Structure 1
Amino acid sequence: MKLVVQVKLLPTSQQAEALEVTLRSCNEAANWLAAEAFTRQVTSRAGLQALAYADLRARGLSAQPALHVLRKVADAYAALKAQAKAGGLGKPGSKRYATATSYPIRFRTEAAQPFDDRCLSWRFDTTTVSIWTTGGRLRNVAFAGHPGHLELLARYRRGESDLLRRNGRWYLIATCEIPEDEQNNRPDGFIGVDLGIVNIATTSTGQRHSGRFLNRRREQDRKLRAKLQRKGTKSAKRRAKKRAGREARRARDINHKISKCIVAEAQRTGRGIALEDLGGIRERARLKKPQRVALHTWAFHQLGRFIAYKAKRAGVPVVYVDPACTSRECSRCHYIDTRNRPSQAVFACRSCGFVEHADLNASHNIASRGWWMWVCGVRSVAPARTLVA
C-alpha cells in the first residue's frame, strides 16, 4: 500500500533563499505553460513537450525539472477535464463551470514541485538532502521528522518527492510503498464503530472517545474566527492567518490517535472493523443550525479513511454497513422505533425494555450488520461516491 510521509526541511537562510527562487521559477514557468496550453488547446504531455520544452530550458530549468513542469501542467488539465466530465464543476453553462474552464490554470508561487532521484538525493545517515536549484546543486540541507516516519522513508520510499513551502516552512513529501500484512480472512467477529459529535467514536467493545474537550475548543475557535473577521484590521487578518489550519491539524491528530487505538484492538483480538457508510450524510441530515455547524465541520470521512488504511496495513478486514436506524434499533430484540431514543445518551427499547448507552447500542448494531455482511461475502470496499451535478 502507498503511504505519504512528510518531513520538515531545516535550511539555512542562504539555502532557504535558493529554494524560494527555485520554487518560484518552477511555478512561474508552469503558469506560463498553462496559459500557452490553454491558448493553443494543447494539454497532453507529448504535445506540451513538443510545444514548450526548449522554452522551459531557456527559462533556466534543467532537463528533469522542465519535464516535471510539463507533467504538472498536463496532469492539472487532465484532472480538470475529469472533474468536469464527472459533474464536479456543475452543469455546462453554469457560472461555476464557466469560471473553472474559461481561464488558464494557475499555480500558487509556493505550490509543490516534484523532484525525482536525479534532482533530489536523500542521506539518512546524516539526515540531509541534496537538491537541484536554479543556482546549482544545494547540498547538506538538513531535515527532521518522526523517527518512525524516517525509518519508513529509508526502507520503502519510491518515486518522486515534492518540495513545497507552507506558512514560511519548508517540507518534503515522499511516497512509500509499504508491504501489507496478510488479511485475516477468518475474523472472530467484528468491532462496530459508531461515529458521533458528543462521542467521536464508540466501539462495541466499550471504548468511548469523548469529543467534549475538542468540541469546546472548536467552539472557541469559531467565536475567535468570527470576531477577527468582524474586526477586519490588518493585525486581525494577520492573527487569523496565523491560526489558520490549527483546528484542522488538531482534528487530524485526534483522528490519527483514535483510529490507531481501534485498529490495534481489532488486530489484537483477531476481529474485523465495521463502519457506517456516511456518504451523503450532510445532504440527508435535518438538523438545527448549531447542530449543522458541528456536523459539517467535523472530519468523519477523514476518521473513516484513517481507520481503513491503518486496518489494511495491519491485515484487519473492514466492512461498511448501511447506517439507517442504527441508533433507533434495539441490539437485543432488533425492534426499531424513534421513541427508543428518549435522549441523546440513553437508549430504552419500547418492546423488550433493554436500556443501554445510545452510542454503545448503535455500535452493537453496526458490529452485527458488519458480521452478516462478511458472512454474505461482502468485502472491505466502501460504496463508490457519485458526483451530483
Structure 2
Amino acid sequence: MEVKRTVPVKLDVPDDRRDDLHTTIDQFNDAANYTVENARKDDGYLILNKSKIHDRVYYDLRDRTDLPANLCVRAYSKAVEALKSTVAEWKKGNSRPLPHFSEPSTVYDKRTLTIKDRSATLSTVNGRVAVEYVIGDYQQSYLDDDDYEKRMGTLHYREDEGAFYLHIVLLKEVEQREGDRVMGVDVNLKNVAVTSTGAFSDGGELLWGQNHYFRVRRSLQAKGTRSAKQALARLSGRENRFVLDRLHTISRRLVEEARTHDCSYIAVERLTHIRENMDNGNDRTKRQIHDWAFRELQEMLEWKGAEFGISVEPIPPAFTSQTCSRCGHQSSTNRGSDGWFACNECGQEYDGDYNAAKNIGLKLLTVPEGKRPSGLSHGQLALKSGTVNLSDDSSSAEFRPEGESHGQARSSNASVSKR
C-alpha cells in the first residue's frame, strides 16, 4: 500500500523576497477564483474536465497574472478538483456554494518546486526564491528517510505567526500487513474513540478545550475591535494546534492498540452524514458536533496505520448503536439515554460505545466476498480477551461475567471476558 505523509516545514525566507511570496499567493487564489467564475457552460453545466478548462481560462490567467505557466496550471487544477467535490455533494442532495479561495496558500509541483534535504526553491511572480528550512527532529526523521520520495508541496502563510510554511508531500510503498484480524472503532463526543478490544479514549479534555476556545472567541467577537480581530486570528491558530495535537495522540494510540492485538484492518464508521446522525437537538451538542474533527481523526488513523501496513476500512454505521453484538437483536430501546446498552432480547449489557465498536468490526467481516478488502478472507474480530471468528455462533462473543452487578459493569468500561 502507498503511505503518504505531509510534513510541515517552517521556512526562513529572505526579507527582500517575502513580498514575492505574498503576491504569488494572492495571484494564485485570484487565478483559482477566476477559473470557478468561468467554469460554467452556456447550458448551465460546470466544466469538470481539465483539458477543457485549460482551453477556456489558461491564456486569460497568463494575461491577468504574473504567475509562471505551471502555477497557472496548478491554480485551475485546484479549482477543478474543488468543483468536482461540490458537484458530488449536489448529486447527494446536499447544498453547497461554489468554491471560493481565500486561504493564503499556493500548490506547487516538481516543475515549480525543488525540494532538498534542508532547503528548497519556489517559483514566484518574480523568479525563484531560495529558502532554508527551520526544522526539528520530527521533520528531519522524514526528510532524511530515503524510502520516502519527495513529490510536491503547498506553501502556506500563517498569519498568527507571520511565518511561511512548506507542507511537503512524501510517498513510499509499504507491504500490507498479513492476516485478517479486524478491530472495530466507534467515535463519539464523550468517548472520542472506543475499540472492540475495550480501549477507551476519553473526550473530556478535547471537549473542555473546544468549549474554552468557543467562550473566548464569542467574547472577542462581541468586542468587535481591531485588536480583538487580531486576537481572534491568533486564537484560531492555537485552537487548531490544540485539537490536532489531541487527535494525533488518539490516532497513534488506536494504531498501537491494533498492533498489540495483531490486527491488519481497522473498521471505522463511514463519515457520510455523521453529524446529522449524532444530532440530539441540544444547541450545545450541535455546536460541539460541528466543531468535532471526525474526518481529521480518520485521515490521521489512515496514514498512521498505513505506516505499519494496517488498512482502515469505512463501513455504514446504520444501527450499530441499536444492535446487540452478542445476539444480533436490534431495537431503538436497547440503548438508554445514559449511553448504556441493555439488550431487550438476551439481557446482555455493555457500555453502548463498546457495543457499537464490536458491531462496526462485525460489519466489515460480513461484507460480501466481491466487495471486501483485498486480503481479508473469513476474518476475525479482535476483542478485549481474544477473538471471534465470523463462523462462530454469536453466543461465543464476549459477555459480562455471571454475578457482576450492573453498577460494576458500568464503572469498568466494558469489563468483559470470553466464554
TM-score (norm 2): 0.71
Q: Structure 1 pair 183/243, CA: closer, same or farther in 2 (3 Å)? A: same
Cα offset for 1:347?
2.5
Q: Structure 1 pair 340/26, CA: closer, same or farther in 2 (3 Å)? A: closer
Tell me, yes or no, if the aligned pair for 1:190 and 1:367 is still in contact at 8 Å: yes
C-alpha distance in 1 between matches for 2:215 and 2:37: 45
Tell me, yes or no, if the aligned pair for 2:186 and 2:353 is still in contact at 8 Å: yes
Q: Structure 1 pair 39/252, CA: closer, same or farther in 2 (3 Å)? A: closer
Cα offset for 1:279?
1.3
Instruction: Give the letter aligned to residue 129 of structure 1.
Output: A
Match of 2:270 in 1: 277
Tell me, yes or no, if the aligned pair for 2:36 and 2:83 is still in contact at 8 Å: no
Residues 352-363 of structure 1: pairs in structure 2 closer than 5 A: 352-363=346-357
1:253-277 CA-to-partner distances (Å, cap 9, x unmatched) read 2222222222233234322212122
Cα offset for 1:244?
1.4
Match of 1:45 in 2: 54
Match of 2:301 in 1: 307
- Out of 1, 15, 18, the position equivalent to 1:16 is 18
- Out of 233, 244, 253, the position equivalent to 1:261 is 253
More displaced 10-residue stretch of structure 1: 305-314 or 168-177: 305-314
> Unpaired runs of 5+ in structure 2?
375-419
Q: Structure 1 pair 374/18, CA: closer, same or farther in 2 (3 Å)? A: same
Instruction: Give the letter aligned to residue 11 of structure 2.
Output: L
C-alpha distance in 1 between matches for 2:293 and 2:101: 27
Tell me, yes or no, if the aligned pair for 1:83 and 1:89 is still in contact at 8 Å: no
Q: Does residue 323 of structure 1 match 2:314?
A: no
Q: Does residue 220 of structure 1 match 2:229?
A: no
Match of 2:394 in 1: none
Cα offset for 1:219?
1.2
Tell me, yes or no, if the aligned pair for 1:198 and 1:211 is still in contact at 8 Å: yes
Cα offset for 1:315?
1.9
C-alpha distance in 1 between matches for 2:298 and 2:69: 38
Name the % identity: 27
Q: Structure 1 pair 34/354, CA: closer, same or farther in 2 (3 Å)? A: closer
Match of 1:3 in 2: 5
Q: Structure 1 pair 165/321, CA: closer, same or farther in 2 (3 Å)? A: closer
Q: Does residue 68 of structure 1 match 2:71?
A: yes
- Out of 219, 230, 234, the position equivalent to 2:222 is 230
More displaced 10-residue stretch of structure 1: 290-299 or 202-211: 290-299
More displaced 10-residue stretch of structure 1: 223-232 or 198-207: 223-232
Q: Does residue 252 of structure 1 match 2:254?
A: no
Tell me, yes or no, if the aligned pair for 2:279 and 2:285 is still in contact at 8 Å: no
Residues 180-199 of structure 1: pairs in structure 2 closer than 5 A: 180-184=174-178, 186-187=179-180, 189-199=181-191
Q: Structure 1 pair 357/254, CA: closer, same or farther in 2 (3 Å)? A: same
Cα offset for 1:213?
1.4
Q: Structure 1 pair 90/331, CA: closer, same or farther in 2 (3 Å)? A: closer
Cα offset for 1:37?
6.2
Tell me, yes or no, if the aligned pair for 2:186 and 2:269 is still in contact at 8 Å: yes
More displaced 10-residue stretch of structure 1: 256-265 or 145-154: 145-154
Cα offset for 1:135?
5.2
Hey, which of these two has a bigger chunk of helix by percent? 1
Count of residue pairs brought into register by the alignment:
358
Q: Does residue 128 of structure 1 match 2:119?
A: yes
> Unpaired runs of 5+ in structure 1?
381-389
The DSSP-based 3-state class of the residue aligned with 1:340 is: coil
Tell me, yes or no, if the aligned pair for 1:311 and 1:318 is still in contact at 8 Å: yes
More displaced 10-residue stretch of structure 1: 247-256 or 170-179: 247-256
Match of 1:383 in 2: none
C-alpha distance in 1 between matches for 2:103 and 2:337: 51
Instruction: Give the letter aligned to residue 45 of structure 1.
Output: H
Cα offset for 1:286?
4.6
Instruction: Give the letter aligned to residue 4 of structure 1.
Output: T
The DSSP-based 3-state class of the residue aligned with 1:178 is: strand
Residues 74-153 of structure 1: pairs in structure 2 closer than 5 A: 74-79=76-81, 82-83=84-85, 85-86=87-88, 88=90, 100=98, 108=102, 110-114=104-108, 116=110, 119-124=112-117, 127-133=118-124, 137-139=128-130, 141-153=131-143
1:321-362 CA-to-partner distances (Å, cap 9, x unmatched) read 332332233333333333433342432333333333222222
1:79-104 CA-to-partner distances (Å, cap 9, x unmatched) read 4653565464999xx9x76xx4xxxx
Tell me, yes or no, if the aligned pair for 1:112 and 1:165 is still in contact at 8 Å: no
1:3-35 CA-to-partner distances (Å, cap 9, x unmatched) read 33221112343343454355456666x379759
- Out of 315, 329, 338, the position equivalent to 1:344 is 338
Instruction: Give the letter aligned to residue 22 of structure 2.
Output: E
- How big is the alpha-carbon RMSD for the aligned residues of Structure 1 and Structure 2? 3.7
Q: Structure 1 pair 334/152, CA: closer, same or farther in 2 (3 Å)? A: same
More displaced 10-residue stretch of structure 1: 239-248 or 277-286: 277-286
